[in-house]
Structure 1
C-alpha cells in the first residue's frame, strides 16, 4: 500500500511537471507566432513597398509621370524672337512669339533657368527657315514640331525634365 502511494505521488509530480512544460511550450509558440506576425507586417511589407517604388528610381518616376499626365496644362510664354531670314525670298525678317505647353512645373523652372541656351538654339533654328516653306500651314506645323524637339533636346542635355507637350505661336510675322 505504501508502494501505491509512492507511485501515485511520483505520477502526480511528473504529470505536474509535464503540464508546466506543455504550458511553457504553448506560450513560446504564441510568442514566436506574434513575433513572426510583427516581422511580416512591420518589416517584410515595408520592404515590398520599397521594391515596388523601385528605391526611388523606376517606381517614383512612374508615379511622377502618372501625376504629371493628370495635371492641368501650364502655358509658359517665351520672350519674342526676331531673326534675319538668310534664305532668298520676299521676307527678310521673322518675328515669332511662342508659348510652351506643359503639365510639369519643373519644366517651366527649367525653361527659365536655361533661357540663354534656349534662345541661342531657337534663334539659329528660326534664322535657317525659308520663306516659301514657313509661309504654308504645313510649314508652320513643321516649324512648331522642330521647335518642340529642339526644346526637348536642350532640356534633356541639361539634365532637366523635358515634358514639353506643344509649342504654340502667339505671334508670327514675316516682313
Structure 2
C-alpha cells in the first residue's frame, strides 16, 4: 500500500500542469508581434500618407466655402509656390569700375533672375532705373580678391537678390525673387 500512495502524488503533479503551456506562450507572442507590426504600419501610413489626404480635404473644404473671392478659373490655374515653374528673366549687362588700387579695373556682369511669379518680372521692368542704380553701386563696391573665389561669387549673388527684394518691397511690388544667376562675370 505504501507504494500506491507514492504513485498517486506523481499523477496529481502531472494533472496540475496544463498541457500545451509552451504552445499558449508561443501563440501569445505571435499575436503580440502581429499587433505591434499592425500598429507600426498604421503609424507609417498616417504619418506619410495622412498629411496629403488632410491637406487635400482642407483645400476641397476651403474651395467650397462661398466666402471665398477666388473664382473657379483662378482655382484651377493656382499652383502652390513651391511647385510653380520658375520664370527666368535676363537683365541687361552691367559694367562698373572697381575700387581704385585694384589690379582689375572693370567688372562686367550679366544677370538672370528667377521667380515663380510673372508679376515680379513686370515690377522689375517697371522699376529698372532704380534697380540698376543700386545694383551698379553694389557692384562698384566689390573687391577683386573677394570676387575671385566661389564663396565671394555666392555672397555677391545673395547680396544682389536681397537688394532687388528690398527695392521691390520698398516700391510696394511683388518681390518673390528666388535666385540671381550670373550669365556673365568678367573682371578685366
Q: So what's the TM-score if we normalise by structure 2?
A: 0.59
Correspondence for 1:79: 92
* In structure 1, distance between residues paired with 2:100 and 2:84: 41
RMSD of equivalent CA atoms: 2.5
Question: Number of residue pairs matched?
Answer: 122
Is 1:143 matched up with 2:156?
yes
Which of 107, 127, 144 does residue 131 from structure 1 map onto?
144
Correspondence for 1:121: 134
Correspondence for 2:177: 164
1:88 and 1:130 in contact (8 A); partners too: no
Correspondence for 1:94: 107
Correspondence for 1:42: none
Task: Look up the SS of the partner of 1:69 in the other structure.
Answer: coil
Could you list the structure 1 runs, at least 4 aligned residues long, displaced by more than 2 angstroms after superposition: 66-70
Question: Cα deviations across residues 55-106 of structure 1 (Å, max 9, x unaligned)?
Answer: 78xxx9xxx7x63332211100001100000153210100000100111000
Q: So what's the TM-score if we normalise by structure 1?
A: 0.63
1:87 and 1:130 in contact (8 A); partners too: no
Is 1:105 matched up with 2:118?
yes
Q: 1:32-47 counterparts in 2 under 5 A?
A: none
Question: Mind listing any 5+ residue stretches in structure 1 that lack a counterpart?
Answer: 1-47
Question: Mind listing any 5+ residue stretches in structure 2 that lack a counterpart?
Answer: 1-64
Offset of residue 161 of structure 1: 0.5
Question: Cα deviations across residues 136-164 of structure 1 (Å, max 9, x unaligned)?
Answer: 10000000000000000011001000000
